[in-house]
Amino acid sequence: MNRALRRSALTVALGLCFASTVQAQSNTAGAVFGQAAAGDTVLVENPATGFKRTITVGNDGQYRASALPTGNYRITLQRADGTSSVRENVTVNVGTGTSVNFGAAPAGGATDLEAIQVTAALVNPIDVSSVESTTILTAEQIAKIPVPRDVTSVALLAPGTVKGDAAFGNLASFGGASVAENAYFVNGFNITNSFKGLNFANIPFEAIGEQQIKTGGYGAEFGRALGGVVNLVTKRGTNDFHAGGNIFYTASSLRATERDIYSPDGQLISDNSKDKDPTETIASVWASGALVKDTLFGYALLQYGRESGSRSYGDNLSVLNDSETAKNPNWLVKLDWNINDANLLEFTGFSDKRETERDVFSNPQGISQRQNYLGTVHDETGGNNYVMKYTGYLTDSFTLSALYGTGEYKRSNYGINAAGERLVYDGVVSPDNAAGIIGATGCPVVSDGRPDAVAGLIPAITSSCSFLGQNLGLTDAKDERDQFRIDAEWQLGSHLLRAGYDSDTFKSRDGEASEGGVAWRYVVRQGRDQVRRRVFQTGADVEVDSEAFYIEDTWSITDGFNAYIGLRWDSFENKNGEGQTYVKQDNQFGPRLGFSWDVNGDSTLKIFGNAGRYALPIAANVAVRGSSPSLYSQQYFDYTGVDPVTGVPTGLTESSALSYLNNEFGIGKDPRTIASKNLDPQYQDEYILGFQKAITDNFSGGVRAIYRDLKRSIDDQCDYRVFEQWADDNGYAIDSYNPAFAYCHIYNPGRDLDVDIDIDADGTLEHVVIPADKLGPKSKRTYTAVEFFAEGQITDKFFLQGSYTWSKNKGNAEGGVKSDIGQDDTGVTQDFDYPELMVGADGYLPNDRRHTLKLFGNYEFNDQWSTGANFLYQSGRPINCFGVYGDDPVGYLNSYFSCDAGPVDPDTGSNGTTIVRRGSAGRTDDIFNLDLNVSYRPSFAEGRLALKMDVFNVFNRQKALAVDESGEDTTGNPLVGITYLTPTVYQAPRAVRFMVQYNW
């Protein structure tokens, strides 16, 4: 009878443990909530740390323990009659709520039921506590599948993400947004690099405990992102001491050779037979445990990575080749202090420094051959980050948290030539046209733009000429962030109220100049050979200040239906190199709405939806050249000879006056003349509707439909002609050659340009309004998708997760960057510079992939052997045909959606030009990729030793990911059948990675 009663109680407990209500969650912790009898007490304990919280069940029969550090918990219900029920191994993940409901005590109150225990991993098969589109992967799951050990590669496992263009590094596009529109957090601290939005601070990968990928529908707590949010939580210490170490080794000798590149007519473009990817070794050691039992815990990790032995020769016209070595001396420390049951304090510190040395050699054109050593380029990136966070459980229903963090990211760059001389740019912009280079002058950049030129760079390079092939940056370039935020949560009956404020100050020092201080280009001008001399310099300390307020309410209207409303206000202020504000945008309103319906009341079927508005600030890099001192001078010369070593012209005679392009005189710009007065923040609206259903107790699947619409963007326009027309119409004699006449202005495409500008160089600013229809079209970008997804345990030995996404990404602008041409000037690409550049621009965007299938998982044969797989199938990306538009009215050469040799479109431009609409010239090949691994944990080591081998791109598929999209050269001659459609980037060739790990 007792056994039958126990079984009945167990059945009731398990059956009730999945009913729940919607709850909003923090970006650093999770929650446990549920239902029980009013007045009963719920004890929430983490046995590994001694953390405890006692919650009294409210009059409505609900309880909630919020802001819980991630981990496994024991939940004990203590009833008024003295009986109790226990749930063991309740898993709390970041940003999610775990439902644990309790039924009434059994009739008779049998004393043997006072300690009923349900021992199981109570992870909800469906998280009905969230309306977000979220994927969470723990360190244990990531370790089981073959995936590169970096944050982006893990994020690419989530539905709705695609890999960005190689020109921007290893980044992901979320839901059709550009790679520059994502946000990244670690333990609640914003680690997004806001200089361009194209990188983020990297914690040592081994230290990641969980990675949460938010692909849409995130609440009012999150902002400053139009793409997605990647939320990282680090590992932490417990009462048990743990230590270990591992080594990951990827041998260059086991990497397959990258395929050679041929043009469509069979010409060899790049011989890659001598290229070599690096050998990579990453070693980590760590330890964790209690410094004071149940009170103070620590986790510390040291990681050292080295990449060496690489070789890169470039294409057949390259005059340089190089070898690169990189070192990553990284560390992380996490401290957790349970001051008492009501107050917690956390500290996170980490370093993501990376030191790179690139040795540069001369190379004869047409063959891959290493000749004279020319010098070494040194880069140092990364820095140290420190974060403190306090959490206070002030009452059963009120929780308060506060966070302060500071971080630094260096971007140091300098060169050392073969003679040992240091080649450094001092960052001082010189209006007198000085070179601005300290130490060795090196070799200036020399190129040949004459019609019969064979290649671009022409100097006969020797060891006495240290041309290293890039602009020089600053040795002290860096980014600094200071962030403060405070969040409060109050459970008020059926309403969960949350509110918060955050302030983010991001400062950058940046600058660059042409190597050698000057760039020469041989041209045909005025019917004869001439040479053009250009000097380019930038350098400034700039700043972006952001702040936001939010408030949200999650209302449990019934036990199964819940509504969410969130309100957010974002403000952004951008400052130039003089500390002056040139853009200020206040209180951009971002409402968020959502609902979740637990249809059956047992978490087996959820229908959910949400709508939201999301804003994005202007990146810091815009101010360096757009609103700070910069120099861009030009002058033409006749010449009598060429230096055989440097390629620099000799016997110079001036054939033109010195001019300053874009009015970049090397002096400060008036901040009042940079941005349109009616400038508003860029924002995007998003709508999601979906459902998720339990297929088995531990496996679920679902579908969601997504629509995103970029309603307003920010870019720059540089059309001088509209000001000429305004001057004519308003009786002014235009004189644009003055520092108060900015050529490029920041505005909202599709809106009037409203600026103050010194139109006649008399020292007085005129108020000028240019109608929107004279500047070009309104920016457009939409993303429409349907995602099918499934996740969970097929059996206790078989973990599987996957998704299929059908999507369309259309518009006339990608966003912050321009993948078509690899332009990373975030926020100020050539889009919208002139109306002619936008003719034909409306079409399929670079991140459009019609079909994407992802499957990954792991199968355990026994306690010793397991295997994992990671499969990707994806449609190709759209192809363009760029060329010269008419007679090239604005001087952008072959950068237009105009290509006489391309597919014929019914719409045509002036001068008989054929407009080839964006993305209409075909697609790259579909790709598929399969990665596999096998893991062995020998029984004699009692599970402490693990050996693993990962094989990436098992079938060595090397399809083109991108191609040359120039259908015409700079003079309008067709390149179809010559270099047009030549592959530029292939899938990475097969590689093998080995791991040895030991845990104490």
**What's the CA gap between 963 and 822, in Å, rounded?**
12
Residues 337-354: tens digit of each pLDDT: 999 999 999 999 999 999
Please state, in angstroms and rounded to a whole number, the distance separating the CA atoms of residues 758 and 736: 8
Q: What is the pLDDT of residue 3?
A: 43
Higher pLDDT, 240 or 515: 240
Bridge partners (DSSP) listed for residue 574:
544, 583
The token duo for 625 is: 């050249």
Closest residue by Cα to residue 853 from 789, 946, 901, 797: 789
- pLDDT (0 to 100) of residue 111: 36
Tell me which amino acid residue 863 is.
D
* H-only helix segments in 80-185: 139-144, 151-155
What's the rounded mean pLDDT across residues 740-750? 92
Distances (CA, A) of 122 to 91, 98, 326: 6, 8, 44
Q: Given this model, what pLDDT does residue 110 score?
A: 39
Its pTM stands at 0.91
Residue 519 has pLDDT above 50, yes or no: yes
pLDDT of residue 443: 66
The whole-number average pLDDT for the span 715-733 is 94
930 forms beta bridges with: 871
- Whether 335 shows a pLDDT value over 80: the answer reads yes
Task: Compute the distance between CA of residue 568 and CA of residue 220 in angstroms, rounded to an integer.
Answer: 6
User: Using an 8 Å Cβ cutoff, are 411 and 383 in contact?
Assistant: no
Maximum mean pLDDT: which of 79-93, 155-169, 641-655, 662-676: 155-169
Please give the pLDDT value at position 454: 55
Write out the two tokens for 773.
């229809």
The pLDDT tens digits of the residues spanning 561-580 come to 999 999 999 999 999 999 99
- Residue 242: per-residue pLDDT: 96
pLDDT score, position 95: 79
Residue 672 near residue 566 (C-beta atoms within 8 A):
no
Q: Which range among 684-688, 859-863, 904-908 shows the weakest confidence by mean pLDDT?
A: 904-908
Per-residue b or e along 945-968, where b marks 16 or more CB atoms closer than 10 Å to that residue's CB: ebebebbbbeeebbebbbbbbbbb
Banded model confidence at residue 32, pLDDT cuts 50, 70, 90: confident
Identify the pLDDT of residue 120: 38
Confidence category of residue 7, pLDDT binned at 50, 70, 90: very low
The Cα–Cα gap between 824 and 167 comes to 8
Would you state the pLDDT for residue 867? 98
Q: What is the mean pLDDT of residues 978-987?
A: 94
Q: Are 877 and 849 in contact (CB under 8 A)?
A: yes
| Beta bridge pairs of residue 703 | 691, 788
At residue 373, the pLDDT reads 87
Do the bridges between strand 84-92 and strand 116-119 make them parallel or antiparallel, or are there none, so unpaired?
parallel
205 vs 977, residue with greater confidence = 205
| Residue 109: per-residue pLDDT | 45
How far does the chain reach from its first CA to its final CA, in angstroms? 45
580 and 102 Cβ atoms separated by less than 8 Å? no
Cα–Cα distance measured from residue 847 to residue 688, given in angstroms and rounded to the nearest whole number = 20
Residues contacting residue 522 through CB under 8 Å, at least 6 positions apart: 446, 447, 448, 449, 450, 453, 458, 529, 530, 531, 532, 649
Residue 107: pLDDT over 90? no
In this prediction, residues 316-345 reach a mean pLDDT of 94
Q: What pLDDT is stored for residue 601 in this prediction? A: 86
Mean pLDDT of the chain, nearest integer: 89
User: What pLDDT was estimated at residue 188?
Assistant: 95
pLDDT of 122: 37
The token pair at 997 is 């790990």
Cβ contacts of 887 within 8 Å, gap of 6 or more: 911
Measured distance CA(735)–CA(726) in Å, rounded: 12
Q: Is the pLDDT of residue 106 over 70?
A: no
Whether the predicted pLDDT of 24 surpasses 70 = no
Looking at the chain, the number of H-run helices and the number of E-run strands are: 5, 57
**Of the listed ranges 447-456, 763-772, 774-783, 975-984, the one predicted with least confidence:** 447-456
Query: What value does the mean pLDDT take over residues 522-548?
Result: 92
* 3-class secondary structure, 131: coil
Pairing of strands 261-262, 84-92: unpaired
Q: pLDDT, tens digit, for every residue of 252-274?
A: 999 999 999 999 989 999 999 99
pLDDT on residue 1? 36
Which pLDDT band holds residue 433 (cuts at 50, 70, 90)?
Answer: low
The distance from CA 443 to its chain's CA centroid, rounded to whole angstroms, is 35
% of the chain exceeding 90 in pLDDT: 69
Q: How confident is the model at residue 603 (pLDDT cuts 50, 70, 90)?
A: confident
112 to 1, 2, 105, 852: CA distances (angstroms): 12, 8, 12, 55
Q: Are strands 229-234 and 183-186 parallel, antiparallel or unpaired?
A: parallel
Instruction: Give residue-wise pLDDT tens across range 442-462.
Output: 567 788 877 776 544 554 444
Query: For residues 540 and 510, is the Cβ–Cβ distance under 8 A?
Result: yes
Most confident segment among 28-42, 358-372, 872-886, 962-976:
872-886
Which candidate, 247, 244, 249, places its Cα nearest to that of 285? Answer: 244
- Length in residues, the chain: 1000
Helices (H), 17-150: 139-144
- Average the pLDDT over 869-884 and give the result: 97
Q: Please check the confidence at residue 902 and state whether its pLDDT lies above 80.
A: no
Instruction: Considering only the C-alpha atoms of the chain, give the largest distance between any 2 of them, rounded to a whole number of Å.
Output: 110
Average pLDDT over residues 985-993: 96
Given a contact cutoff of 8 angstroms between Cβ atoms, the answer to whether 898 and 883 are in contact is: yes
pLDDT at 764 over 70: yes
pLDDT of residue 119: 38
Residue 602 pLDDT class (50, 70, 90 cuts): confident
Percent pLDDT > 70 in the chain is 91
Q: Residue 424: its pLDDT value, please?
A: 84
- Bigger pLDDT: 61 or 357? 357
pLDDT at 432: 66
Q: What is the DSSP letter of 819?
A: T
Stretch among 311-315, 360-364, 509-513 having the lowest mean pLDDT: 360-364
State residue 901's pLDDT score: 57
Over residues 20-43, the mean pLDDT reads 74
pLDDT at residue 147 is higher than 90: yes
